[in-house]
Structure 1
């Protein structure tokens, strides 16, 4: 209940975005491989951002 109004950190926002991109890439991979590769590349960039924020 106390976490109801808690704001998300930058890392939490990036992790949600990363997870969503991976799920979308998996769904698209069955029909459009090049689009899936683009989404995976975007997800990889987000993963790098997450790692750099965590290492600080």
Structure 2
């Protein structure tokens, strides 16, 4: 009955994914390519999790 009150876990993962990509972009702009690589890798792991949950 109260399912509409539950948060969608995919939306949370999507927000985390977008945040990681933004942090990676900021790191790249600041010249910190090591952090950029780490953050991009974390973002891709989140994207894979999103795709796994969608199917």
TM-score range, shorter chain: 0.7 to 0.9
TM (norm. structure 1) is: 0.83
- Aligned pair 1:45/2:52, yes or no? no
| Alignment match, 2:12 | 13
| Alignment match, 1:25 | 24
Count of matched residue pairs? 51
Question: Which of the two has greater helix per residue?
Answer: 2
Cα-Cα RMSD:
1.4
Consecutive aligned runs of 4 or more in structure 1 exceeding 6 Å deviation: none
| Gapped regions of structure 1 (runs ≥ 5) | none
1:6 offset after TM fit, Å? 3.8
TM (norm. structure 2) is: 0.84
1:40 offset after TM fit, Å? 0.2
